[in-house]
Structure 1
């Protein structure tokens, strides 16, 4: 029986203009999250299909945004074995790294998220929140794609668009990141299906990036904590020194229907 995978690329090519979110500005130019998600998703699709996996894209690459309910309904009715969502993150400028979310009660989802973190660490990528994160009902990370899917599901956040180092990987393909992360996704997916990964079938040549060395300070100096101001639709909702509080405020605003969210360093 064919192994059935659903690939969901975060958002759509029209999301930035319609929702005024899911993008970052850099030197006056707009960089949209979906552009990266689709590019990596297509690479991932090519690799897993070469290994005999049947793939359904519930969000066309570079197409108009498909509502999440439509995506999960389609996956459920198709009888998919695995739902795999590809995203890029946003938050405080100091926040960086990759991670995978899984539904808190899903043992298979947790196993895949931890495997994603393992492969990412082996590739020299920085991890956010140790690389795996439980999605819990009623919290800021109560993600529809993980809650409403009838099969094992994982939602990956492949770096922070708002971090200077991650930005280079996401939008400038530093360290051949697009191939590196696509290979990681493929390995996770193939592991789920019990299929051995064959690098000769991948069509990519990943460059293993070395982890960046942490900044060091003199023993007598205390690390300086950045303060970031969060503005929602032009109004300040708080100023935080803890990056988790910044991320929580941004997620809460977006979940509440905010049209514009800005994070500024004080």
Structure 2
């Protein structure tokens, strides 16, 4: 009788223990679900690794030299801010570069320095990420009035388009509406055939965060507050993409 009594007591306690654990998990799930991405709730999410690709670097300065700015530096600063924001949301973040370097030495193909650099970026994206964002600055010397953020995606990639739309909405709300109080300028999404979009095997976007040839955008590109806001907006767009 004693052995049976002990057995029954342990069995009841186990049921109570697991019921409590299940109840706590359900509360944590619903509280967390409201404010955090899937990657926060489920750390094993298949979309938890984000590759950030700061365009250009090293010998390749990108655009902006005529204005006393270099695109490669702006790209890197925004990318590092974006990395910090994404890590704060418990995403795993991989950078194609985290300092002022070009990447051609990481490619084995026989080609020009420029193509080797692109090939290295493509390989790093394909081998490390679930989605990616490539950060750039735009220029249009023929029309200094042209301004604003453009988000490019590969035309046949449905997931990339969805990511682009999510980031676009976030930038319009966070940057243009709330931060700049602008109604006449908005971010737009554009399908295009850029190498980094065409040759990669995961959803991704290329974001031109402003036109360095436009005086108003150029002023923003010099601003640390703008860099922080655009990075936060991109992060929020990625979070929204995973939630949906």
Q: TM-score range, shorter-chain basis?
A: 0.5 to 0.7
Counterparts in 2 of 1:151 and 1:167: CA distance versus 1, 3 Å: same
Q: Which segments of 5 or more consecutive residues in structure 2 lack a partner in the other structure?
A: 1-43, 105-116, 177-181
1:71 counterpart (121, 140, 143): 121
Tell me if structure 2 keeps the 8 A contact 1:14–1:65: no
1:8 counterpart (53, 63, 81): 53
Structure number with larger C-alpha Rg: 2
Tell me if structure 1 keeps the 8 A contact 2:103–2:121: no
- 2:97 aligned partner: 59
- 1:132 aligned partner: 189
1:25 counterpart (55, 66, 90): 66
Tell me if structure 2 keeps the 8 A contact 1:39–1:61: no
Q: Which segments of 5 or more consecutive residues in structure 1 lack a partner in the other structure?
A: 136-141, 196-266
TM-score by length of 1: 0.62
How far the C-alpha of 1:129 sits from its partner, in A, is 8.2
Moved more, 81-90 or 58-67: 58-67
2:237 counterpart (169, 185, 188): 188
Pair 1:168 & 2:219 matched: yes
2:210 counterpart (133, 141, 159): 159
Tell me if structure 1 keeps the 8 A contact 2:167–2:238: no
How far the C-alpha of 1:118 sits from its partner, in A, is 1.4
Aligned-partner Cα distance in 2 for 1:148–1:42: 24
Cα-Cα RMSD: 2.1
Residue 145 of structure 2 aligns to a residue whose secondary structure is: coil
Tell me if structure 2 keeps the 8 A contact 1:116–1:131: no
Tell me if structure 2 keeps the 8 A contact 1:6–1:83: yes
Aligned-partner Cα distance in 1 for 2:63–2:175: 26
Following superposition, which runs of at least 4 residues in structure 1 exceed 6 angstroms of deviation?
126-129
2:145 counterpart (77, 86, 94): 94
Aligned-partner Cα distance in 2 for 1:180–1:190: 15
Counterparts in 2 of 1:134 and 1:128: CA distance versus 1, 3 Å: farther
Residue 110 of structure 1 aligns to a residue whose secondary structure is: helix
Structure with the larger helix share? 2
- 2:24 aligned partner: none
Tell me if structure 2 keeps the 8 A contact 1:44–1:185: yes
How far the C-alpha of 1:65 sits from its partner, in A, is 4.7
